[in-house]
Amino acid sequence: MKKICCWILVVILFSHTAYSQNPTKDRTVTGRPLPVISGVVRDANGAPLSGVTVSVKNEHITVMTGEDGKYTIHVPSAGAVLEFSHVGYASVEKATGTLARLDLVLKSKSAGLSDVIVVGYGTQKKATLTGAVEQISAKTFESRAVTNVGLALQGETPGLVVTRSSPRPGNEGLTFRIRGATSVNGSDPLVVVDGVPVLNSYSFLNMNSDDIESISVLKDGSAAIYGSRASNGVILVTTKRGKGKVRLDYNGNLRFTTNGIINYSPNMQQYATEWIEANKEETVPNWWVWGNMDNMLKMQKGVEGAYPLFGTDYFIFNANRIDEMFARRYSYQHNLSISNSTDKSGYRLSFGYADNKGNLATAYDGQKQYNARFNYDYKLTDKLKLESGISLVDAMTSSPSVGLDNTLYGYDMPFFPAKNPFGEWFACFNGIDGGANRNAAAMTSDGGRDNKNSLTGRIDMKATYQINKDLALEGLASVQNERFNEEKYVLPVPVYNWYGVQTGIGNGTGGTNNQYYTYAWTSFYQYYSALLRYNKTIDNVHHISAVAGINAEKSNYQWVSATRVGFDNLGVQDISLASTAAQTNGGFKSQNGRYSYLARANYDYGEKYLVELLGRRDGNSRFAEGYKFKNFGSVSAGWVFTKEDMFRDITRIVDFGKIRASYGSSGNEASGLGEFDYLSTISVGTAVLGTPAALQTSTTLNNNGLVSYTRTWERVQQKNIGIDLAFLNSRLSATFDYFIKDNIGMLTSVNYPSELGGSAPMTNNGHFNTKGWETVVSWKDARKDFSYNLAFNIGNTHTLVTNVQGADSYGAGKNGIVNGYPYQPWFVYKTDGYFKDQKDVDAYYAKYGNSTDLAALQANNPQATLRPGDTKKVDVAGTGNITSIGNQQSSLVYKGDGTPHFVFGFNMGASWKGFDLSAFFQGQFKQSIMRSGWMAFPFQAIWTNQNPAFIGKTWTTSHPNAIFPRLTVNPDRAAWNYANNDFMLQNNRYIRLKALIVGYTLPQAIAARMKLAKVRVYFSGNDLWETAHVKDGFDPEMGEASVDNNGYPYARTWSFGLNIGF
Amino acid sequence: MKKIFDCCIIGGICLCIVSCQKQFIDLDPTAQFTDAVYFKQPSDFKAYTAGFYNQLPGWDFSTMDNSSDLSANANSNGNDLGRGTISVGSTSWDYSGIRSCNILLSKAAAYNGTGDISQYVGEAYFFRAFAYFGMLKRFGGVPVDTTVLDVNSPELYAARNSRYEVVTQILSDLSRAIPDLPTEQTIPSTDKGRASKWAAEALKAQVELYEATWERYVGQAPDGDGASVGAGGKGYDAANVNKYLSDAVAMCQDVMDNGGYAIWNKNSDPTMTNLSSWYLFNLEDAGSNPGGYDKSTNNEFILYKVYDYTYKQGGINLTWTSGQLYPSRKFVDMAVCTDGLPPQKSALFQGYHHTGDEFQNRDLRLLNYLYASTQAPASITLDFGSLGSSGYGNSKYEVYKYGPAPAGRRTDNTESANYPVIRLAEVYLIYAEALYELNGAITDAQLDASINKLRDRAGVAHLSNALATANGLDMKEEIRRERAIELYREGRRFDDLKRWGILEASLNPSRLGRVVGDASYSTDFKDASGNPTSSYNASSYVWGEEAVQTPAGTLNCVVVDSYQNHTVAAKHYLYPIPTSQIILNKKLLQNPGY
């Protein structure tokens, strides 16, 4: 109630002051008419520019240019300075002197140092910035032809690393990292849209990219103004607002996808070859269900048909599962917007519709999305301005409820056809095994649907009251609401053998899997802020600006779910049609809040010496009483040395040079913290007891009663030093930054002896250090009709974890945190080639026969003993025991970390008359990965699919210098030979053409004749080409996993688009 | 004036906003209790103890004695112990259940409500004892904690208690649980499955027999000295062996006399076709057997994990995989003939010339467990296959009418029979063994009151002192034989081999399958000239054949898992302490030999 009162008071005060103003008239000074200045503003091509803001410096007089680029403005006195600004163009200041007419050409901006860019709680000139901030303009999104905003940001700026783990629309699994990881508790940057943090990542990713005016990436201490959630950097999004004359824009594209890298699955010939080659190496062959070598030889020849095995016939066909299940699918997107502004008000209304489809051919797998946004600005008086924004996103993801899992590739060899001769779904292995009723094509087609619908609404209201010339008060309120509904049903899919006899119900669709599940999630997020802004210039050289205020956030969520087991599909799907015999339900609700006081002051002297001070006091409901609030702050300074007289000589070459340094601390609230983790809460569940059995209430203490009352914020200290340079009339520009981030008191779960009886709660423990650098170099030039630009960005980070209690042990493979090592260090067996001969093997057993790792590979066991050609692991510790256990006593060596390094982006673009071409490459030079899962190496398990990439590359007596060890069908020996050995680490280096855009814009004159403002057609391709170092058939962006849980191939996108402005 | 006004606005807003702070920061959970308001009434305690029942073992292939001497399957669960390839890194060291019990006991100590919570206190003692018994069997001595530890508790870095101290703790907990727990007769049907007084007594007898025989046959070698290796021998008292044995007998006697339990023997119902020993382990609703018996007819299970087709299915492909849990030659030769004599002593034994011969006149359990039938198949094909077939099947735990509806009743993963943790049959077996260990003898009346009731269900003659004397049988071996047969694949075998001190001798020989004979002893698998017949794919048996002593003389059998794979040693009586725990607590000394 109190809260509501506060806001009513704010509104009343605003309205009161608003109505107390005198009606605005033409300003007059002592009765004389003011000087009037008029003119025309044009772009570099000579076309008139509408919607340019023309204002008198240090006065509140603003007009806008009309359709013809013309403006007329009254100035208070002769000699006033006019400021011209327009989004996408470099702002210009002109002293008017005694002129009555002032025509101007605005240059479009591209990384120009005179740009005004959006920073936290305001805008700043790039020239006077002391922090590390990158801005990405709307142009980035115009022709990328991806609906997902996150995908469009891939590689656009150094230090923002965007990775995706899946090509499925709505399920891309995107992660964002600004300057690498900061904490083991997730390092997601904060996303702020129009000054307000977004409800969740989807409400950012699902934004209509056509609505985005610009995106700023705050990378260093300058993000600290956002406090609590900003220690991983901030992505600031500004949406388009009404501007200039009435304008109607349409843009749309149609696209289709083709399969990308798909070499990870074998055909029957390759599969058989791998088995035959492996068994050639065995003294005790094992043909598994394939019985004997003759069958495999037949398979190797590609003989399709019946294989009499296991008391039945296996029917094997070279049924390429990729062809069977993935095909070209068409997606499209339409955006329509209308915008207009006058000196009183402005609006922009936009609508978007997109249907994005994944490549799945057996069923629809994609996301349909509707977007609407209405931004409306109104100037009540000269002093009071209101800005509002309403947006609505409805995203509907629909996919098969079963089948996109390990049955696609990981489990079964892809040579069982989808259907038998009767046209019925065919069970792999002819359904012989009770667990073999698998068929991904059948399950995705008939196994039911999983439909998710997320409806997110958001309303922003912002009022700015100019108290006096220097001081303004700003109040902002935003409410966001997401309603998420999921309906998932699984239908039993009967599967059959080759002779038309049903062998069972398809994998994952029978029994209790056959159910109807519904889930409803609602979250409500409120954000309020009140800010005072102060701007003053004294003696034309002392520029002071300051902002101070409060912001408050609160989010509430709740969910309910219900399940009924037993559902028949009669064409209508609803929970009410499922069996009530076994129904369960659940639900939960919770809340959390944040409250912060913030202040920032900037001072610059003649745009030469720059200082910024910032302080925050952050509170969070996730911590216990007394530990909720903590203070943070930062200081930064800059020196534009090219403005110094002593450097005048170099300014002929270096137009602009600035050195920046910043030091700051901000809080980080670990994402792993629950809302009320500091309380020992009770979880209520059910247990099954009784005869007949029934559900009985069962409770547990969360985390088995282990809580920490005293934990508090992580404190992240950031140090940054940077230099900005521009050469040769700003044609060449470069930026370089070096930074150090220290997370002190990182929230981690300490490993205590298991005797504790539960995992310890996260406590402030340990130190996470990140060091890195990043640089951007760009070149742009124009000659008459031809202009071109090139830009290259690259960055690298290195992490170090220290002082985490209980984090001293490591094991084979990729570890999480280990004191004294980077985040995710690799510990692998050191190997010394392969055994040359039996003598070599015998000598090894004599020395290391009692090793822990050789327990299952005894010398006297012909099935499992090591042989010539098997891997020779080195006894690094000199203990005579080859083992992965015991840290320094083990045979493991540290081999770098698993995070991406030297991540880069490369843009190039050119335009000639109406034609434009741009290409954008993204990649990384170093990332150590080791393939995991069933297809990581041959015969990790004998019953899975096998990766054909190893064929011909393994040790044999005639090929002793092969890159991989001898093949074996014994899984223990295969693990010894391959798993976690140093030679299995691959460098995931790649460069990929993320986007290629070719467009043509109709000349203005012709367009005008058609009564159109703009006509542009373009082709845009995504992920069309790459070169990757990973040679095992997987996509470089797919990460380390093989296809255990999914085998969805990565896709290339080809699209054709049209932009029309009316 | 205007300035003052502006300042007032700003000041007012600021004040107002500061007072709003609480609305955003001082929040309470909206859907959860905290423990400050919980544990105030008996129903809170009841709900909390309901969670303990998840700690009971359930359907899991790792508790089916795979890789023991009675098993000849290639399903690898149990390989590490069965073959002696235990690695020091992997074993689990789980105190979470113990912590849950300690929490309840500490909340009970602070309880000042009016309702009775003694049953739930008893359950906490019961489950703490159950958890420590699991630790004892695995590791020997472990640190004993009876309070709720915090991250700063010094106990976390304490040394191991000796096995004798652990046993003392277990027995003390059970002694406290027994008077607190209700009798089975008073547990309402909605709470069936909860631990009764009888369950605690049966568990106590189980622990006492285990420990008494361990101390008698294994001795103190695995304890180490407690200073450089192992948990040490603190608290050892030689007098405990007989004390434990006599108490075990008393506990069993009480359960047998007052528990109201009975052996589930439906062999008198002709529709059940003498398959009680099969239907007991897949007993669900009335459709789970031709006699229409459901779970309510089972009062043989004393402690069990409740499963239900609707609420809690088995969740493993029980029937499919059970079929591949092949028994070994040793097991098949162990079951007695209908005259109550082992095959080598019995005139009823028919030898191996034809596939079904060895199953003639044998213990019903052998056929129930292996073929879900009273008839063995007349012909089989010996083919090693991918799983190392021994030539015998397994049907224990397989469901009745396997397959999808309408022809079948249950498919894999949906089997939902209750899982037996302790059943009356075991109480009989403990009773008989403890008596014999205590007195060196057992009377016919005691045999009739216990294991002969199992022999009734198995359709074989009673064991008696006269039968033993007349045929030169060792009574102790016959009681152990009865135990091995009755509790086949119920997760007891490895522990029995250990406490009898015969682990290495039992596990190091090869696991064998069917007798194939040779020219001098022709079978369906080898003709009179000693050549494999079409029923025997000899080349598929990668380990070939081995000649061993059988009830019909020394004969060749197929080898499923060769002795060459087995290196079981004295150290394997205990598992190693996980290295990760030793790194965290330097005072944990590793067990000897690792």
For residues A478-497, average pLDDT = 94
For residues B57-67, average pLDDT = 93
Among the partner-chain residues A619, A676, A852, the one whose CB lies closest to the CB of B21 is: A619
Contact criterion met (CB < 8 Å) for A679 and B29: yes
**Contact yes or no for A1022/A1051 (Cβ under 8 A):** no
Among the partner-chain residues A5, A581, A683, the one whose CB lies closest to the CB of B310 is: A581
3-state helix/strand/coil string of A903-921 = EEEEEEEEEECCEEEEEEE
What phi and psi values does residue A415 have, to the nearest 5 degrees?
Answer: -125, 30
- pLDDT digits 0-9 by tens, A289-302: 888 889 999 999 99
Of A745, A749, A747, A670, the residue nearest A703 (C-alpha)? A749
Helix ranges restricted to H, A118-190: 139-142, 149-152
Supply angle C-alpha A579, A581, A585, rounded to 5: 85
Q: How many residues does chain B have?
A: 594
Q: How far is B77 from chain A (nearest CA, A)?
A: 14
Least confident segment among A299-313, A350-364, B92-106, B355-369? A299-313
For residues A120-125, average pLDDT = 81
What phi and psi values does residue B579 have, to the nearest 5 degrees?
Answer: -60, -35
| Model confidence band, residue A914 (pLDDT cutoffs 50, 70, 90) | confident
% of chain A exceeding 70 in pLDDT: 93
For residues B485-495, average pLDDT = 97
| Model confidence band, residue A828 (pLDDT cutoffs 50, 70, 90) | very high
| Model confidence band, residue A839 (pLDDT cutoffs 50, 70, 90) | very high
Q: In angstroms, rounded to a whole number, what is the distance separating the alpha carbons of residues A944 and A926?
A: 30
Token output for A828: 């692998």
Residues sharing a CB contact under 8 Å with residue B481, sequence separation 6 or more, in sequence order: B334, B336, B342
Q: Name the B residues in 168-227 with CB < 8 Å from any A CB.
A: 189-194
Q: Which amino acid is at A160?
A: L
- pLDDT digits 0-9 by tens, A525-563: 999 999 999 999 898 889 999 999 999 999 999 999 999
Q: How far is B160 from chain A (nearest CA, A)?
A: 11
Of B509, B510, B504, the residue nearest B573 (C-alpha)? B504
Q: How many residues does chain A have?
A: 1062
In sequence order, what are the beta bridge partners of A1020?
A997, A1055
Compare all CA atoms of chain B with the CA of A758 and give the residue at the minimum distance: B96
Least confident segment among A271-275, A369-373, A480-484, A912-916? A912-916
- What pLDDT is recorded for position B251? 98
Token output for A1008: 């005008």
| Average pLDDT score over chain A | 86
Q: In angstroms, rounded to a whole number, what is the distance separating the alpha carbons of residues B277 and B366?
A: 9
Compare all CA atoms of chain B with the CA of A580 and give the residue at the minimum distance: B310
Q: Does pLDDT of B89 surpass 70?
A: no
What phi and psi values does residue A8 have, to the nearest 5 degrees?
Answer: -60, -40
For residues B350-377, average pLDDT = 95
Q: In angstroms, rounded to a whole number, what is the distance separating the alpha carbons of residues A1021 and A257?
A: 10
Q: In angstroms, rounded to a whole number, what is the distance separating the alpha carbons of residues B141 and B147?
A: 18
Q: Is this model's pTM higher than 0.90 or not? A: no
- pLDDT digits 0-9 by tens, A83-100: 887 766 777 888 777 777
Q: DSSP labels for B444-508?
A: HHHHHHTHHHHHHHHT-PPP-HHHHHHHT--HHHHHHHHHHHHTTTSS-HHHHHHHTT-HHHHHS
Q: In angstroms, rounded to a whole number, what is the distance separating the alpha carbons of residues B99 and B105?
A: 10
- What pLDDT is recorded for position A670? 64
The CA–CA distances, whole Å, from B97 to A93, B54, B144, B170, B575 equal 74, 9, 13, 14, 20
| Model confidence band, residue B297 (pLDDT cutoffs 50, 70, 90) | very high
The CA–CA distances, whole Å, from A847 to A49, A851, A881 equal 83, 9, 9
3 state DSSP class of A9? helix
Compare all CA atoms of chain A with the CA of B157 and give the residue at the minimum distance: A753
Contact criterion met (CB < 8 Å) for A687 and B53: yes
**Contact yes or no for A467/B6 (Cβ under 8 A):** yes
Of B503, B568, B547, B6, the residue nearest B217 (C-alpha)? B503
Among the partner-chain residues A471, A687, A861, the one whose CB lies closest to the CB of B51 is: A687
CB contact, 8 Å: B569 with chain A? Answer: no
Contact criterion met (CB < 8 Å) for B317 and A434: yes
Q: In angstroms, rounded to a whole number, what is the distance separating the alpha carbons of residues A868 and A155?
A: 47
Token output for A366: 């994609």
Cis before B406? omega within 30: yes
| Model confidence band, residue B343 (pLDDT cutoffs 50, 70, 90) | very high
Residue B150 CB burial class (10 angstroms; 0-12, 13-18, ≥19): middle
- pLDDT digits 0-9 by tens, A848-875: 988 888 888 888 777 789 999 999 999 9
For residues B234-262, average pLDDT = 97
Q: Does pLDDT of A22 surpass 80?
A: no
Strands A747-749, A762-764: pairing kind: antiparallel
Q: Which amino acid is at A222?
A: S
Compare all CA atoms of chain B with the CA of A854 and give the residue at the minimum distance: B85
Q: In angstroms, rounded to a whole number, what is the distance separating the alpha carbons of residues A552 and A619?
A: 9
- pLDDT digits 0-9 by tens, A592-626: 999 999 999 999 998 889 999 999 999 999 999 88
Compare all CA atoms of chain B with the CA of A683 and give the residue at the minimum distance: B32
Residue A521 CB burial class (10 angstroms; 0-12, 13-18, ≥19): middle
Of A399, A353, A172, the residue nearest A1051 (C-alpha)? A172
- What pLDDT is recorded for position A6? 44
CB contact, 8 Å: B19 with chain A? Answer: yes
Taking contacts as CB-CB distances below 8 angstroms, the residues of chain A near B319 are 434
Interface test with B, best of A756, A805, A939, A942 (most B CBs within 10 A): A756
Interface test with A, best of B2, B24, B52 (most A CBs within 10 A): B24
Strands A609-620, A583-605: pairing kind: antiparallel
| Model confidence band, residue A12 (pLDDT cutoffs 50, 70, 90) | very low
Residues sharing a CB contact under 8 Å with residue B15, sequence separation 6 or more, in sequence order: none
Token output for B389: 């077939």
| Model confidence band, residue B238 (pLDDT cutoffs 50, 70, 90) | very high
Residue A98: CA atoms inside 13 Å, Cβ hemisphere, count?
0
Of B171, B197, B173, the residue nearest B258 (C-alpha)? B197
Q: Name the B residues in 251-310 with CB < 8 Å from any A CB.
A: 295-296, 306-308, 310
Least confident segment among A424-438, A688-702, A799-813, A881-895? A424-438
Q: Which amino acid is at B515?
A: V
In sequence order, what are the beta bridge partners of A196?
A193
- What pLDDT is recorded for position A782? 83
- What pLDDT is recorded for position B13? 63
Token output for A54: 């023309």
Q: How far is B84 from chain A (nearest CA, A)?
A: 8
Taking contacts as CB-CB distances below 8 angstroms, the residues of chain A near B46 are 697
3 state DSSP class of A764? strand
- What pLDDT is recorded for position A76? 76
Residues sharing a CB contact under 8 Å with residue B112, sequence separation 6 or more, in sequence order: none
Of A14, A954, A1030, the residue nearest A477 (C-alpha)? A14
- pLDDT digits 0-9 by tens, A519-529: 999 999 999 99
Q: In angstroms, rounded to a whole number, what is the distance separating the alpha carbons of residues A358 and A1048?
A: 9
Give the distance between the most distant pair of CA atoms in chain B. Answer: 124
- What pLDDT is recorded for position A121? 82
- What pLDDT is recorded for position A713? 84
Taking contacts as CB-CB distances below 8 angstroms, the residues of chain B near A706 are 150-151
- What pLDDT is recorded for position A1034? 87
Strands A190-193, A234-239: pairing kind: parallel
Q: Which amino acid is at A138?
A: A
**Contact yes or no for A573/A93 (Cβ under 8 A):** no
For residues B4-18, average pLDDT = 62
Q: How far is B336 from chain A (nearest CA, A)?
A: 33
Q: Name the B residues in 107-146 with CB < 8 Å from any A CB.
A: 143, 145
For residues A405-412, average pLDDT = 82
Q: Does pLDDT of A1062 surpass 50?
A: yes
The region, left, alpha or beta by phi > 0 then psi within -120 to 50, assigned to residue A30 is: left
3 state DSSP class of A527? strand
Q: Name the B residues in 144-173 with CB < 8 Å from any A CB.
A: 145, 148-151, 153, 155-157
Which helix (H) or strand (E) segment is B45 a member of? helix B42-50
**Contact yes or no for B348/B340 (Cβ under 8 A):** no
Q: How far is A1016 from chain B (nearest CA, A)?
A: 49
